[in-house]
Chain A
Amino acid sequence: MDPSRDAHPCQQIVAAVLDALSGGELAAGAKLPSVRGMAAEALVNHNTAARAYRDLEQLGVVRGENGRGVFVTRGGPGIARRMRRAQTLDAFQVAMHEALRAGHDPAVLARLLGGLGGLSENGRRSA
């Protein structure tokens, strides 16, 4: 974990798992490290890792199975992708408002967006 980022370490673990899910590195049914293993890997204490797993379970993306471990749910990747979309749209809106406040011409921004729209159709995987 990167302590210089201001998100709580627990939130960083959750974000990393959601990223891996929406990027396809973790698929439905995949097994996650144990809480102890995750704590060691992320250099956080046991409670922080446990809380991250609890939140992931509450989000519906993983499920703990008694004694066997923690697994990605069937709907997990889809949920993660939806969250990721909401998150990036929000970042985009914030950036757009900042650009407008800074005095950029809306017409110029719209042209930029039009250009990006063309790009995304061809280069979707690059994002």
Chain B
Amino acid sequence: MKSVIRVEGLTKRFGRRVVLEDVSFEVPADGVTVLLGGNGAGKTTLVRCLMGLSGMDAGRIEVCGLDPARSGRGVRERVGYVPDEADAYPWMNARDLFRFLRAQYPKWDDERAYRLLERLGAPLATTFGAMSRGEAAKVMLAAALAPAPQLVLLDEPFARLAPPVREKVLGVFVEEAPIAGGAALVATHDLDVAARIADRVLVLDGGRVVVDTDVRALVAARAGGGSVRESLRALYPHREVA
């Protein structure tokens, strides 16, 4: 299996609290992998480790063949990353952000960026300071997909969208992500999101990967059939929040 992410024995503590414990997994170089887990499962910490934004206590990480702690610049060039809180400068609008990112991504594609913005129904001239969180999420998503990166890495990108808007944005994501030609890793707590977009699912619970499976194989193996959502739900440790 060709992989865009390899994680081996990743352990991360905050003080005495173990947030990630001996986490190992790989993400294939194409398709959408969903990192599913409830609040506090360690999703955001894991994503930050993948981007080299958070140190680790043990383990080895490779993203696009690079060690994010040593080759931060190389990783940033190859990954379209959207953090859980949009971190664009409040005075920037979408146009300013795109100009800013053009300097970061060798393969930045302006035409694609503006087309995505239009498809997502995101504002062009509003600054981040004046955007709703949902609007900011759409602009960030367009920016993540625009450079056709090897990896699109999204941390709860759809959580801030009202349900009808979310459905539209998910539709655009499902259509556009494969056009980019890379892989996507999407962290979410939301079973509906996972069922809609996942080719593979990693379930993170209590700082450990407890499930790592191909969605089609999972549904096929389930006695009595049923929907993708039902099959995922059976694996999900936080059924009450789903």
A interface residue count range (under 10 / 10 to 19 / 20 to 34 / 35 or more): 10 to 19
CA distance A80 to B65 in the complex (A): 37
Q: How many A-B residue pairs have CB under 8 A?
A: 33
Interface of A is mostly: helix
Closest chain A residue to B91, Cβ basis? A87
- Tell me if A87 and B127 are in contact (CB < 8 A): yes
Instruction: List residues of chain A with CB within 8 A of the CB of B87.
Output: 8, 11
* 1/0 contact string of A56-89 vs chain B (CB within 8 Å): 0111100000000000000000000001101100
- Tell me if B104 and A58 are in contact (CB < 8 A): yes
Instruction: List residues of chain A with CB within 8 A of the CB of B93.
Output: 86
Known: A90-B129, A93-B130, A94-B130. A58 touches B91 (CB 8 A): no
Cβ of A14 within 8 Å of any chain B Cβ, yes or no, is: yes
- Tell me if A86 and B89 are in contact (CB < 8 A): no
- Tell me if A90 and B100 are in contact (CB < 8 A): no
Q: Which of A7, A55, A57, A93 contacts B90 (CB 8 A)?
A: A7
Residue tally, chain B, CB below 8 Å to A: 12
- Tell me if B127 and A14 are in contact (CB < 8 A): no
Which residues between 83 and 127 of chain A lie within 8 Å of chain B, taking CB atoms? 83-84, 86-87, 90-91, 93-94
B72, chain A: closest CB distance, angstroms: 9
CA distance A14 to B100 in the complex (A): 14
Instruction: List residues of chain A with CB within 8 A of the CB of B127.
Output: 86-87, 90
A53, chain B: closest CB distance, angstroms: 13
Instruction: List residues of chain A with CB within 8 A of the CB of B100.
Output: 55, 58-59
Chain B interfacial positions (CB closer than 8 Å to A)? 87, 89-91, 93, 96, 100, 103-104, 127, 129-130
